[in-house]
Structure 1
Amino acid sequence: MTQHADKVYSLARKSSQAASSPVAASWLRCMNVHKLSPDQKLSPARLTDQEFRDASERSQVMVEEARDELDRLFMMAGRSGHALLLTDGNGVVLDRRGTAGDEKDFRGVGLWSGTVWSEASVGTNGIGTALADQRAATVSRDQHFLSSNTGLSCTAAPIRDHTARISGVLDFSTCRDDANELTMTMLSHAVRDAALRIEGNLFRRAFPMARIVMVGSGYGALLAVDRDDIVLGATRGARQALGLDESRLAAGIPAADLLNEGEPTRSADLLEAERAALRRAISRNNGNMSRTAEALGISRATLHRKVKRLSIS
């Protein structure tokens, strides 16, 4: 333990290391911000039953939308001696998966519901560092700040809500001494993909009446668009891809304008969608243009112009 503590003190105090390494930067935060020492014997803080119920209630929607993903991910990789954890935005473990044979070990190291895995609580770790850096993090064995946690390996990815704010973390952790870099890399990709799918679930739930548009080929980049083609919301992936921020979203930007900025071919797709919608409206009104115009809330003259522009016979 003394050797690990000496390593932490030595590297964390080198500004070049802290600037280039997320782990060293986290070690520095642990010492300077959280006032921790690597040789402290700390266990994750544990909430009272009432505190845990309150935390679970605040994150109820996320827990519900994550449940199927947790089951799927655990069936895929969790039976290899890993604990799968879902935390809130404070690092509190709200839900978990683990095999019966590993329960004693997991409970002993704090990989359990109601424990707090923030950096302030237990120093550098997958969950706490993912929250602090607001990005995926893998922390293996002696990369942990506390000497008492160097038997752990963990990989975590943040989960963002429909406003792109971090609401939780998905994490795979193990206390097996044979966890290798290849295994952790594979688990890291699986965790990140699952976190994005949970974000998609949360996004769709937040905009149940909207049309959900996928931006590009990434399933993590989604727009919610209302019936008037106005963008109601965007995931972080879509915000990054399209240069969106809260002010642009609040202004009510049309999806057609937004998508045409980077993808000119979208205009043809939108015209086809408008043509199909107009044909359906005319059909529902048995070809009566006056009733169609009234149903659409436009004038008969406007309807005729649209019919001509879209070449509807």
Structure 2
Amino acid sequence: MTLSGHAHHAERVHALLQDRSAAVRSAVAASWLRSVRDHGLDPEHWRRPESLDEARLRHAREQMSPLLRAAEPTLDRLLDAVGDSGCCILLTGRDGVPLQRRGVAGDDDDFRKLGLWTGAVWTEACEGTNGIGTCLIEGRAMTIHRDQHFYTRNIGLSCTVAPIYDHLGRLAGCLDVSTCRRDADRGVVALIAAAVGDAARRIEAAHFRQAFKGVRILLGPDGGEAGALIAVDRDDLLIGATRTARRLYGITDERLAAGLPAAAVLGDGLEEGLSDAERGVVQRALARAGGNVSGAARILGVSRATLHRKIKRLGLRLCQEQEILENATLMAVSAAPVLAHAKLGRS
């Protein structure tokens, strides 16, 4: 970008801000307006992005450690998909600071100079309109492409971003893929956007499963929209839901705290899903106990009679030898009161 191009960008920003209706028509224009009116920024300012010191960066990572751990496999796969295209990947907290980064080593110097590095502060208040900061304010996926950025020093970048929500449905940060390659046209950016959106949902799902480890996790029945996961306890009460599931089924923290039956939210379509989940739990317990029902009951923390009823209701079959043994045991248990009564009568 030439100096005249930079000057033209600044002029374009100031000219658009004279149009009072522009902010209503365009999210970018609304962000430019916030950059000037709310944050007092100048598009021609050339100072590099602010950065956290090591202590503050370390603290921020500790605060986000469960989500960062859940994200690592997805970040690695995403790098395999876009790394050779001159892209870098940033996973930020909700304060707009990248806490994890992936990129090809040969591109590191360029991205470091641009501030696309861990610890940099990419809020709108600091950097004006940009992928990370504007995504966090808007709360939705977006691309800030080249001269849509506020600062002239950033107009060579194309940044595609998706928000990431934690296991409680709260905004936790965002996933950004940025490139400074001139051949990254809007067609390429659209493909990157699809990959970023899919990766963000995978990170949310991994974090949700990690947060509710050991609990039944079900996919919502309404066509399986990506990310619509719910956590259900032994009493078939909802104890957790991803943001997508909350939006689809009207799940709130208040309804969860009050004790929300899964069927009341998801309807009859839930029954089959719950049965499948319960069947898997019972089968795994039987396998661990070598087919022994009493042992499996101890593993599950239920009575032997309760487990037998579950086995019958779920349509499970024991191996032939175990079935013979269990039937004999049941007959002995059933006959015990009769024998005791007969013995008492003789005495």
Match of 1:32 among 28, 37, 43: 37
Question: Given residue 105 of structure 1, which amino acid in structure 2 is its aligned partner?
Answer: D
1:25-80 Cα distance to aligned partner (Å, 9 max, x none) = 11111111111111111321111111111111111112111111111000011221
Asked whether the 8 Å contact 2:136–2:163 carries over to 1, the reply is yes
Counterpart amino acid of residue 295 in structure 1:
S
Is 1:117–1:127's contact at 8 Å kept on the other side of the alignment? yes
Q: For the Cα contact (< 8 Å) 1:221–1:235, is it kept in 2?
A: yes
Report the Cα distance in structure 1 between the residues aligned to 2:272 and 2:93, rounded to whole angstroms.
43
Using the TM superposition, give the Cα deviation of residue 276 of structure 1 relative to its aligned residue in structure 2, in angstroms: 9.4
* Shift in alpha-carbon separation, 1:158–1:297, aligned structure 2, 3 A: farther
1:11 aligns with 2:20: no
Partner of 2:83: 78
The one-character-per-residue Cα deviations of 1:86-109 (angstroms, maximum 9, x if unpaired) are: 111111111111112211111111
1:242 partner letter: Y
Alignment partner of 2:303: what SS? Answer: helix
CA displacement at 1:15 relative to structure 2? 3.2
Residue of 227, 242, 247 corresponding to 2:249:
242
Equivalent residue number for residue 198 of structure 1: 203
- Deviations 1:103-125, CA, capped at 9 Å, x for gaps: 11111111111111111111111
- Matching residue within 251, 276, 293 for 1:284: 293
Tell me whether 10-19 or 45-54 shows the greater mean CA deviation.
Answer: 10-19
Matched, 1:65 2:70: yes
Q: Any residues of structure 2 matched to 1:1-313 within 5 Å, and which? A: 1-215=6-220, 216=222, 217-260=224-267, 264-267=268-271, 270=274, 284=293, 295=303
The count of corresponding residues between Structure 1 and Structure 2 is 301
Letter in 2 for 1:140: H
Mapped partners of 1:272, 1:83: distance in 2: 41
Query: Structure 1 residues 105 and 244 mapped into 2: Cα distance closer, same or farther (>3 Å)?
Result: same
Q: Distance in 2 between matches of 1:311 and 1:177?
A: 61
2:133 is aligned with what amino acid?
G
Q: TM-score, normalised by structure 1?
A: 0.86
CA RMSD, Structure 1 to Structure 2 (Å):
3.1
Q: Give unpaired runs (5+ residues) of structure 1.
A: 287-293
The 10-residue stretch of structure 1 (145-154 or 249-258) with the greater mean CA deviation from structure 2 = 249-258
Structure-2 separation of matches of 1:310 and 1:99:
51
Partners in 1 of 2:119 and 2:315 — Cα distance?
62
With 178-187 and 243-252 compared, the bigger mean Cα shift is at 243-252
Q: 2:218·2:273 contact (CA, 8 Å) conserved in 1? A: no
Distance 1:192 1:274 in 2: 32
Amino acid at match of 1:2: A
Q: CA deviation at 1:154?
A: 0.6
**Who wins on radius of gyration, i.e. which is larger?**
2
User: In the superposition, relative to structure 1, how do residues 227 and 41 fare at CA in structure 2: closer, same or farther (>3 Å)?
Assistant: same
Tell me: CA distance 1:257–1:12, structure 2 relative to 1, closer, same or farther (3 Å). same
Gaps of 5+ in 2: 1-5, 287-291, 296-301, 317-347
Name the CA distance, whole Å, in 1 between partners of 2:40 and 2:255: 40
CA 1:181–1:228 in structure 2 vs 1: closer, same or farther (change >3 Å)? Answer: same
1:96 partner amino acid:
R
1:311 shift after superposition: 10
Matching residue of 2:325: none
State, as a whole percentage, how many aligned pairs show the same letter. Answer: 46
CA distance in 1, matches of 2:275, 2:244: 26
Counterpart of 2:172 in structure 1: which amino acid? S
Aligned partner of residue 87 in structure 1, secondary structure: strand
SS at match of 1:116: coil
Q: Structure 1's 297 and 255: CA in aligned 2 closer, same or farther, altered over 3 A?
A: farther
> Partners of 2:230 and 2:188 in 1: how far apart?
34
State the secondary structure of the residue aligned to 2:178. strand
Change (3 A) 1:269 1:140: closer
Report if the CA contact (8 A) 2:231-2:241 is conserved.
yes
